[in-house]
Chain A
Amino acid sequence: MDKEMGKLDVKSIFHPKWWLIVVGAIFTIIALLTFMNGEESAKTAWGDDYTANDVFYEKAWSSNVLWVAIIALASGFLIEGRALSIIAMAVSGGFILSFILQNLANGDLGYGYLEPANAAPGMVAAAGLLLSGYLHLEDE
């Protein structure tokens, strides 16, 4: 019985609806701040000797992150059941794959946002989303 209760608690905490809404809201804020402060983002990424191209890419890349965040928010608010779980898993699985590819592309360039301290919160969010989708995959 206690084991069953424990399972219920984990499923309640990891509900894809709330994970999608919270992760979507946080990434919406981060993406908008990055877009509005492209110079600061480029400075964090490369130090003082960043270029105008770096600023452009920080803004352009953040607008893609905003796009994914909007998908997460819309899914959390407007979709239910198994579809919601599938989207939570697709968003998080895609994000983890994207992170691996970005690290491989980075090589020894030393891009600041891929340092462990900067990357960890995004990875925690992705892992939570993935787990929430998996745990509710049988929902109607």
Chain B
Amino acid sequence: MDAIKQYMQPKWWLTGVGGLFTIFMLLTYAEIMNAAETGWGADYTANDAFYEKAWAATYLVIAIICVVSGQFVEGRSQAILAMTIGGGNILNFILVFLAAGDLEYGFTENPANWAPPMIMATGLLLSGYLHLEEE
């Protein structure tokens, strides 16, 4: 159990997940990664491209909160934040799936796109839970 706790430090999970989210969101926003094309294929619209960039900008808020929580918050407060962010990510994922319905949106249809963020969310949730009793 101690070994698991050692590897599941909320500080590093928050910093790592926040860092990865920041990179992916900046790549999406700059259209280096074409999220609209991944989502809908080559015939995406200007509105789709706008929404992908605006959505990435909102993800960037969460990425910033992750990095700041990992680097500038400690103890129980940090564990609570890791659990809240991880739990919120899972809830967000369920709602996006419900919203997508039968639209065949690329990011919800392909497990290769949604599995990594879910692993990160689970890691964050677990890291927070394991360190919840810290001072």
Interface on A for B, CB 8 Å cutoff? 35, 38, 46, 51-54, 56-57, 59-61, 63-68, 70-71, 74-75, 78-80, 83-84, 86-87, 90-91, 93-95, 97-98, 101-102, 105-107, 109, 111
Given A87-B69, A105-B50, A70–B84 Cβ distance below 8 Å?
A: yes
C-alpha gap A63/B96 in the complex (Å)? 7
Q: Which of B53, B54, B64 contacts A93 (CB 8 A)?
A: B64
Q: How many chain B residues touch A (Cβ–Cβ < 8 Å)?
A: 43
Interface bits B18-41 vs A (CB < 8 Å: 1, else 0): 000000000001000000000010
C-alpha gap A120/B54 in the complex (Å)? 17
C-alpha gap A97/B49 in the complex (Å)? 19
Beta-carbon contact of B92 and A71 below 8 Å: no
Beta-carbon contact of B65 and A87 below 8 Å: yes
Minimum CB–CB distance from B120 to chain A (whole Å) comes to: 14
Minimum CB–CB distance from A50 to chain B (whole Å) comes to: 9
Beta-carbon contact of A64 and B55 below 8 Å: yes
Taking CB atoms and an 8 Å cut-off, the chain B residues in 46-82 that contact chain A are 46-48, 50-51, 53-55, 57-62, 64-65, 68-69, 72-74, 77-78, 80-81
Beta-carbon contact of A78 and B80 below 8 Å: yes
Beta-carbon contact of A105 and B57 below 8 Å: yes
Add 18 more A-B contacts to A64-B59, A86-B68, A87-B69 (CB < 8 A). A35-B99, A46-B47, A53-B103, A54-B51, A56-B105, A70-B87, A75-B80, A75-B81, A79-B73, A83-B74, A87-B73, A93-B64, A95-B61, A101-B53, A101-B60, A102-B54, A106-B54, A109-B50
